[in-house]
Amino acid sequence: MQFYTDATPCTACDGARKGQPFKGLEILWGLHETPGGLEGGRILDPSDGHIYSCDIHLTPDARRIEVVAYKGVPWLGHAMVWQRP
């Protein structure tokens, strides 16, 4: 896992995001609320600059969120669980 400081620029990003500092960089956008969570959005992986489709759902304990990033279909994607530090 790679860690970034607030001032680290996104050198792998394309377009307007290229060279922007990670602090304040939009990494999630276009999500739409559904009964099961948020779906149909995009997520930026700052380590390689790739943009993936994504869906976000609350875990059953309601303390964390599961983020699924994928290209193509969600069931072939990569799931991550995010929680506050």
pLDDT digits (tens, 9 = 90+) for 4-23: 666 788 888 888 889 998 88
Tens digits of per-residue pLDDT, 22-60? 888 899 999 999 998 999 999 998 888 899 999 999 999
Residue 1 has pLDDT above 50, yes or no: no
What are the two backbone dihedrals, phi and then psi, of residue 17, each rounded to the nearest 5 degrees? -80, -20
Say if pTM beats, i.e. exceeds, 0.85.
no
Cα 53 to its chain centre, rounded Å, is 9
What values do phi and psi take at 49, rounded to 5? 80, 0
* Tokens of residue 68, six digits: 């699924």
Nearest CA among 74, 75, 76, 84 for reference residue 39: 74
Query: Which structure tokens are listed for 17?
Result: 């995001």
Task: Grade residue 2 by pLDDT with cuts at 50, 70 and 90.
Answer: low
